[in-house]
Amino acid sequence: MSRRSRLVRPFASLALAAATVAGGVAVGEAQAAPELRNYVKTIRCDSANPFPAPRVPITVDVWNQVRFPSDGLPGPAIELIASSPRPQGLLPNTGIYTMSTTVNWHNVTTGKRGVVRVPTRANRITWQAVLHPGAGQVNFRITQRIGALVFVPMVNPQVSTCRGSARA
């Protein structure tokens, strides 16, 4: 049972009790809303900083069973959502990053392979990739190319790689 279902269920019972006390007719227990995606895990994918600043800590949240993926294609899918905890740069809120993220994935159950490329520009490290591998165990390799935006994009690019897996 998901965390959200555990939180919603007591409130659904309260609604059922309130309807009964108010004289309403209840035809069974209220159902919790179905989950739109399932959290799998968080992986670390830290990178060197293209600005003269400390290394950038980056977490990538892995979600599967995504019913309505952000790319607009039909689900289910796997979503990878990366973020750094705060803006990095020479001074707070002054650094702009350009990112080019590539995710190579392999569904080891079906043998299907694919590549997703995500270009991003923001004042902190953040990107989102959606994989449509079909059902099965999926291994993926994330390659992040992160550069500073200083009059032109991708100045002093830094490359980092990490791996993960999820069941689709």
Domain positions in the chain = 1-35, 36-167
Q: How confident is the model at residue 76 (pLDDT cuts 50, 70, 90)?
A: confident
Predicted TM-score of the model (pTM): 0.75
Q: Where are the alpha helices (DSSP H) in 58-165?
A: none
Q: What is the C-alpha separation between 112 and 126, in angstroms, rounded?
A: 27
Percent of residues in the chain assigned helix, strand, coil, to nearest 5: 10, 50, 40
The residue with tokens 């159902």 is 31
Fold topology of 36-167:
Immunoglobulin-like (2.60.40)
The candidate with the shortest Cα–Cα distance to 134, out of 58, 78, 63, is: 78
Residue-wise pLDDT for 28-50, tens only, equals 444 444 568 899 999 999 999 99
